[in-house]
Amino acid sequence: MRSSALLAALLALGLSAAAFAAATPKLKPTALTAGSGKLGPGVEILTCFHKKAPPHGMEIGRIKVSMPGSGGHHVILARPFPGTLEWPPRDCPLTLNYDKWESIVQTQHPDFDWQLPPGVAINLAPKQPLLIQTHYLGNNSTKKGTKYTTKTELFPIDPKTVTAHAGALFLNDRSMVVPPHSESTTTSRCTITSTGEGDQTREVKIIGITGHYHFRGHQFDAYRVNADGSRGELLYEYKGFDQPPFQGYSDNPIVLHPGEGVEWTCAYTNNSDKTYTFGPNAATQEHCILFGQYYPTDTTQEAITCLHDKNPDGTDVSSIHVVH
């Protein structure tokens, strides 16, 4: 009798353990692959791939991206903002619609590996739609038909250890102009500590910055903007015609206090007869964009977007949106 009771108890415990294990997803990384398309000399290809988060969702604590081969311009992992889901075509436009898509992470270099601070995670909802955009440019030595496969790995952390969520920064200067035969600079500002609701502000901790421009750019800088409007210390600096690298601050986040913001600046050299204005085409247009990540967010998933542009009469106009 006692042995039967003991067996029943063990079986019950075994079933409970199995049920618990089934209800608790294993912390296994998710790998998302995406191709470059068929390249050749002078061939430029942007491709958009439909992906989705795991069925149980995920709290991401680390992201690793591999962009092999020559000619890789960028890999972007994005998710849609709330509202009607509008997938771009597979042969996607030269830039994502950042009014509809949040860039979770993007890299312009072959190897990217970013560990978030302890307890900070990027949240993915169960089966949440995800998009990967690859951008490759074939050079003169690229053989016709060459193809590469990128790999984006998402490493989860235990949801019980999450104390804050990270959001994406997207600061875009659409007003920039690069005149012919010139050395020029464009500068924009955004008070990213503003919630966009009246005068409400909050503290923001920046844990990553990436500058972005095309082939005329040769320097990207980002500064703190103090609450009184004065320029503070240099936060990020890159000099070179290659794409600016990602700089992580997980070990020592940049703390922006309420009322403070970010100023980002791009410097260009243009030895041609052409005038370059804002646009996604790397060969014929230019960019001055700051991608970044911050925490804490007010909601599980959040992003801050800033836009600097000009009205038809030439006056500056800037806007900030906090997207939940």
Structure confidence at residue 25 (pLDDT) = 57
Structure confidence at residue 57 (pLDDT) = 96
User: Residues 310, 175: contact at Cβ < 8 Å?
Assistant: yes
Using pLDDT thresholds of 50, 70 and 90, give the confidence band for residue 280: confident
Structure confidence at residue 218 (pLDDT) = 96
Average pLDDT over residues 254-269: 97
What tens digit of pLDDT does each residue of 173-208 get?
A: 999 999 999 999 999 999 999 976 667 899 999 999
User: Residues 278, 285: contact at Cβ < 8 Å?
Assistant: yes
Taking all residues of the chain, what is their mean pLDDT, rounded to a whole number?
90
The amino acid at residue 308 is H
Structure confidence at residue 213 (pLDDT) = 92
The label of the residue with tokens 């690298």 reads: 245
Give the C-alpha separation, 209 to 270, whole Å: 25
Give the C-alpha separation, 100 to 85, whole Å: 8
Using pLDDT thresholds of 50, 70 and 90, give the confidence band for residue 63: very high
Percent pLDDT > 90 in the chain is 76
Structure confidence at residue 283 (pLDDT) = 81
| Between 126 and 313, the higher pLDDT residue | 126
User: Residues 129, 41: contact at Cβ < 8 Å?
Assistant: no
CA dist list (Å): 193 to 26, 151, 321:
36, 34, 11
Structure confidence at residue 281 (pLDDT) = 79
CA dist list (Å): 234 to 156, 197, 253:
33, 28, 14
Domain spanning 166-324, CATH architecture: Sandwich (2.60)
Q: Please say if the pLDDT value at position 8 is more than 70.
A: no
Average pLDDT over residues 102-113: 93
Residues linked to residue 263 through DSSP beta bridges, in sequence order: 189, 223
Structure confidence at residue 5 (pLDDT) = 52
Q: For the chain, give every residue range classified as CATH 2.60.120.230.
A: 27-163, 166-324
Following CA atoms 235, 240, 246, 252 in sequence, which dihedral angle do they give, to the nearest 10 degrees?
-30
Average pLDDT over residues 283-294: 93
Long-range CB contacts for residues 230-236, cutoff 8 Å, separation at least 24:
231/263, 232/260, 235/206, 235/209, 235/262, 236/209, 236/211
177 CA to centre of own chain: 24
Would you state the structure tokens that stand for residue 206, as one six-digit string?
A: 């920046």
| Between 289 and 14, the higher pLDDT residue | 289
What tens digit of pLDDT does each residue of 210-232 get?
A: 999 988 999 999 999 999 999 99
User: pTM of the prediction?
Assistant: 0.88
Give the C-alpha separation, 295 to 313, whole Å: 37
Give the DSSP H/E element, type plus range, for residue 12: helix 2-23
Q: What is the CATH number of domain 27-163?
A: 2.60.120.230
Give the C-alpha separation, 308 to 318, whole Å: 5
Structure confidence at residue 187 (pLDDT) = 96
